[in-house]
C-alpha cells in the first residue's frame, strides 16, 4: 500500500488472563474499503472489532487512523460506530427518534435532527412517513435499515457490523446483502463486517480476512480465496470442496494417498519430498462418458446421491477407494443415471490447486 494507510492494526494482541483471543495480528485497511472478517466461533473476530471500537482494551500493539493512534482513545471519542447483531434499537421510540438519538446526544437542534433523519430514511429507501412509526411495527428488514440509518447519523469514518444479518431468514438476508453492498457504494464509508458465512462475505466484500485461533489465515479478494486458498483450513472453510491428500517420493513423482486417482504421464510433477493437499472444486470435475474423453486425472466410483440446488445439481460420489467426492453441474446438464450407477470422473491440471502441508498456519 502506497503512503500512510487509512486504518492500521499493528501487532495487536488481546489476552483475557492466560487466554490469548487475538495474537499479534497486523492489517492495513484502505479508506472506503469493504473488508469482511470471517471465521468460526472462537477465532477472535468479534474480539478484534471490540478492540477497534474501544469496547475492550488492547493488551499489546497499536491501532492507528490516518497515522494517529486511537487504541488509547475512549470509545465515545473514536470515529467508529457498531451495528450489533441485536441492532440495539429503542423499542419505546419511533423510527425517527431512534435515528436522531446520536444527534440528540450531540445536542443538535431538533429541526436539524429531523432533516438528517429524513435524509437517512431516503438513503436507506424507507418512506418518509416511517419517521413516526414505532419500532415494534417494523419488519425485520426495516429494523435493519433503521439501525443502519442510526449508525450513519453519527457520520462515522468507519462502520463496524457484528453479524447483523445472522438472525434473518435466507431470502431477506440475500436481499440485505445486496442492499449493504449498494449502500457502501453510495456512502463510500469504510465498512468492516463480521460474519460466520464465507458466502455472505463473497457477495459484499472488497477483501476477506479469514481468522483462525486469534490470527489471520488469509487476507485476499473473494476470487483469490475461492480459487487459491493458502491452507487446508481455508479450503475446508469454503464449504463443498474436494481435498485429496498428496505427496511425492525422492523422484518427485506424485503419490495419491487412498484416493484411487489415476494421473496421465507428466500431468503433475512435484519437488521431491513434497506433502500436502490437492484441491479440486466440484464444478471443475466432469463425468467421463464410458471411459472416453481426454482427462489428465481420472477417478472411478459410484453415484451415491443427487441433490437439486436450483440452477445446479450436486452429486455425491463414493470412489472405488472409499473416499467421497462432490461434483456439480448446471441443472440443464444433469447426469441421466440412477443412484448406484458406476461413474468415471475426470479433470485437468488447470483445475488443481496445490496446498503445501502446514501452509498458512499462523499467517499474519
Per-residue confidence (pLDDT) for residue 362, from 0 to 100: 38
| Helical packing angle, 170-187 and 110-123, nearest 10° | 120
Per-residue confidence (pLDDT) for residue 364, from 0 to 100: 30
Per-residue confidence (pLDDT) for residue 361, from 0 to 100: 45
Answer whether 234's CB lies under 8 Å from 249's CB.
Answer: no
Ranges of the chain whose pLDDT falls below 50: 1-2, 291, 361-364
* Per-residue pLDDT reduced to its tens digit, 193-221: 999 888 889 999 999 999 999 999 999 99
**Cβ neighbour number for residue 95 with a 10 Å cutoff:** 26
- Arithmetic mean of pLDDT over the chain: 90
Q: Residue 62 and residue 72: Cα distance in Å, rounded?
A: 9
Answer whether 158's CB lies under 8 Å from 187's CB.
Answer: no
Closest CA to 41 of 207, 198, 213: 213
Cα dihedral 72, 157, 127, 116 in deg (nearest 10): 80
Per-residue confidence (pLDDT) for residue 167, from 0 to 100: 76
DSSP state of 144: H
**pTM for the full model?**
0.86
Fold classification of 233-356 (topology level)? OB fold (Dihydrolipoamide Acetyltransferase, E2P) (2.40.50)
* Per-residue pLDDT reduced to its tens digit, 300-331: 999 999 999 989 999 999 999 899 999 999 99
Query: In the chain, where are the structural domains located?
Result: 7-231, 233-356
* Per-residue pLDDT reduced to its tens digit, 247-261: 998 888 888 887 789
Q: Residue 141 and residue 133: Cα distance in Å, rounded?
A: 15
Fold classification of 7-231 (topology level)? Rossmann fold (3.40.50)
Per-residue confidence (pLDDT) for residue 1, from 0 to 100: 40
Specify which residues 36 forms β-bridges with. Answer: 193, 208
267-298 burial string, b = 16+ CB within 10 Å, else e?
ebebeeebebbbbbbbebbbbbeeeeeebbbb
The three-class DSSP label of residue 77 is helix
Amino acid at each position: 500500500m502506497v503512503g500512510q494507510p487509512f486504518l492500521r492494526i499493528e501487532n495487536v494482541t488481546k489476552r483475557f488472563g492466560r487466554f490469548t483471543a487475538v495474537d499479534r495480528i497486523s492489517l492495513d485497511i484502505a479508506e472506503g474499503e469493504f473488508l469482511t472478517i470471517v471465521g468460526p466461533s472462537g477465532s477472535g473476530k468479534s474480539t478484534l472489532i471490540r478492540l477497534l471500537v474501544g469496547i475492550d482494551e488492547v493488551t499489546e500493539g497499536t491501532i492507528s487512523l490516518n497515522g494517529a493512534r486511537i487504541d488509547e482513545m475512549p470509545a465515545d471519542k473514536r470515529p467508529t460506530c457498531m451495528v450489533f447483531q441485536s441492532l440495539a434499537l429503542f423499542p419505546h421510540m419511533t423510527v425517527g427518534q431512534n435515528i436522531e438519538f446520536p444527534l440528540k446526544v450531540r445536542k443538535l437542534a431538533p429541526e436539524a435532527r429531523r432533516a438528517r433523519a429524513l435524509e437517512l430514511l431516503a438513503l436507506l429507501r424507507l418512506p418518509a412517513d416511517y419517521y413516526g412509526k414505532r419500532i415494534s411495527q417494523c419488519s425485520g428488514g426495516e429494523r435493519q435499515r433503521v439501525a443502519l440509518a442510526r449508525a450513519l447519523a453519527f457520520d462515522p469514518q468507519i462502520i463496524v457490523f457484528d453479524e447483523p444479518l445472522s438472525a434473518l431468514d435466507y431470502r431477506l438476508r440475500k436481499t440485505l446483502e445486496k442492499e449493504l453492498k449498494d449502500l457502501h457504494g453510495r456512502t463510500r464509508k469504510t465498512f468492516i463486517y463480521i460474519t460466520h458465512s464465507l458466502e455472505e462475505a463473497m457477495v459484499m466484500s472488497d477483501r476477506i480476512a479469514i481468522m483462525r485461533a486469534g490470527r489471520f489465515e488469509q487476507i485476499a479478494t473473494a476470487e483469490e480465496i475461492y480459487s487459491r486458498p493458502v491452507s487446508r483450513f481455508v479450503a475446508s472453510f469454503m464449504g463443498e470442496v474436494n481435498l485429496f491428500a498428496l505427496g511425492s517420493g525422492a523422484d518427485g513423482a506424485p503419490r495419491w494417498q487412498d484416493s484411487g486417482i489415476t494421473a496421465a504421464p507428466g500431468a503433475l510433477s512435484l519437488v521431491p519430498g513434497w506433502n500436502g493437499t490437492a484441491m479440486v472444486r466440484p464444478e471443475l470435475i466432469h463425468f467421463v462418458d464410458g471411459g472416453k474423453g481426454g482427462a489428465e486425472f481420472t477417478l472411478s466410483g459410484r453415484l451415491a446421491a443427487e441433490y437439486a440446488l436450483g440452477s445446479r445439481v450436486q452429486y455425491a460420489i463414493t470412489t472405488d477407494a472409499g473416499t467421497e467426492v462432490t461434483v456439480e453441474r448446471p441443472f440443464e446438464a444433469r447426469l441421466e443415471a440412477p443412484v448406484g450407477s458406476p461413474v468415471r470422473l475426470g479433470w485437468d491440471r488447470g483445475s488443481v490447486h496445490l496446498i503445501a502441508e502446514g501452509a498458512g498456519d499462523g499467517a499474519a
